[in-house]
Structure 1
Amino acid sequence: MFKKILIANRGEIALRVIRTCKEMGIKTVAVYSTADAESLHVRFADEAVCIGPAPSNLSYLKISNIIAAAEITNADAIHPGYGFLSENAKFSKICEEHDIKFIGASPDMINKMGDKATAKATMRAAGVPCVPGSEGIIKDYKECLKLAKEIGFPVMLKATAGGGGKGMRAVWKEADLEPAWESARKEADASFGNDGMYMEKLIEEPRHIEIQIVGDSSGKACHLSERDCSVQRRHQKLTEETPSPFMTDTLRKKMGDAAVKAAEYIKYEGAGTVEFLVDKHRNFYFMEMNTRIQVEHPITEQVIDYDLIREQILVAAGVPISGKNYFPQLHSIECRINAEDPYHNFRPSPGKITNLHAPGGHGIRIDTHVYSGYTIPPNYDSMIAKLITTAQTREEAINKMKRALDEFVIEGIKTTIPFHRQLMDHPDYIEGNYTTKFMEDFKMKPLDA
Structure 2
Amino acid sequence: MSTAAPAPLPPGRADTPLFRKVLIANRGEIALRVARACRELGIPSVAVHSVADRDSAVVRFADESVQIGPAQPSRSYLDASAVLQAADQTGADAVHPGYGFLSEDPDFADACREAGITLIGPRPEVMATLGDKAAARSLMAGAGLPLLPGSLDPLDTEQARRLAEEIGFPVIVKAVAGGGGRGMTVVHDPDRFTDEFRRTQATAQMLFGDGRVYVEKYLDKARHVEIQVLCDGHGNAVHLGERDCTVQRRHQKLIEESPAPKLPDGMAEEMGRTAVAGALAAGYTGAGTFEFLVDPAGGYYFMEVNCRIQVEHPVTEMVTGIDLVQEQIRIAAGQPLRIGQADVRLRGAAIECRINAEDPDRAFAPAPGTISTFEAPGGPFTRIDTHVYAGYTVPPNYDSLLAKLIVWAPDRDQAIARMRRALGELRVEGRGIHTTARFLDGVLSHSAFQTAHHTTSLIDEILQSRTG
Q: Secondary structure at the match of 2:261?
A: coil
What does residue 76 of structure 1 align with? 93
- 1:437 to 2:457 alignment: yes
What does residue 301 of structure 1 align with? 317
Unaligned runs of 5+ in 1: none
What does residue 216 of structure 1 align with? 232
What does residue 215 of structure 2 align with? 199
Moved more, 263-272 or 372-381: 263-272
Unaligned runs of 5+ in 2: 1-17
- 1:336 to 2:354 alignment: yes
Q: Quick check: 2:423–2:441 contact (8 Å CA) kept in 1?
A: yes
Task: Give 1:38 shift.
Answer: 0.5
Identity of aligned residues (%): 50
1:369 aligned partner, one-letter code:
H
2:132 aligned partner, one-letter code:
D
2:26 aligned partner, one-letter code:
N
Moved more, 215-224 or 145-154: 145-154
Q: Secondary structure at the match of 1:168?
A: strand
Task: Give 1:391 shift.
Answer: 0.2
Task: Give 1:421 shift.
Answer: 1.4
Task: Give 1:444 shift.
Answer: 9.0
Counting matched residue pairs gives 445
- 1:396 to 2:414 alignment: yes
What does residue 438 of structure 2 align with? 418
Q: 2:37 aligns with which of 20, 25, 28?
A: 20
Alignment of 1:359-370 (within 5 A): 359-370=377-388
Task: Give 1:249 shift.
Answer: 4.1
Map Cα deviations across residues 237-259 of structure 1 (whole Å, 9 max, x no partner).
00100011132441011101100
Map Cα deviations across residues 7-37 of structure 1 (whole Å, 9 max, x no partner).
0000100100110110110000000000001
Larger RCO, structures 1/2 (Cα 8 Å, 6+ apart): 2
- 1:184 to 2:200 alignment: yes
Q: 2:271 aligns with which of 250, 255, 258?
A: 255
Q: Quick check: 1:342–1:444 contact (8 Å CA) kept in 2?
A: no
Q: Quick check: 1:156–1:202 contact (8 Å CA) kept in 2?
A: yes
- 1:94 to 2:111 alignment: yes
Q: Secondary structure at the match of 1:223?
A: strand
The 1-side partners of 2:464 and 2:142 are apart by: 45
- 1:267 to 2:287 alignment: no
The 2-side partners of 1:182 and 1:267 are apart by: 34
TM-score (norm 2): 0.93
Task: Give 1:194 shift.
Answer: 1.3
The 2-side partners of 1:132 and 1:421 are apart by: 36
The 1-side partners of 2:170 and 2:262 are apart by: 24
Q: Secondary structure at the match of 1:162?
A: strand
2:242 aligned partner, one-letter code:
E
Task: Give 1:180 shift.
Answer: 1.2
Moved more, 400-409 or 318-327: 318-327
Q: 1:147 aligns with which of 152, 156, 163?
A: 163
The 1-side partners of 2:248 and 2:374 are apart by: 26
The 1-side partners of 2:99 and 2:334 are apart by: 21
The 2-side partners of 1:68 and 1:135 are apart by: 39
Q: Quick check: 2:264–2:298 contact (8 Å CA) kept in 1?
A: no
The 2-side partners of 1:164 and 1:135 are apart by: 20
What does residue 44 of structure 1 align with? 61
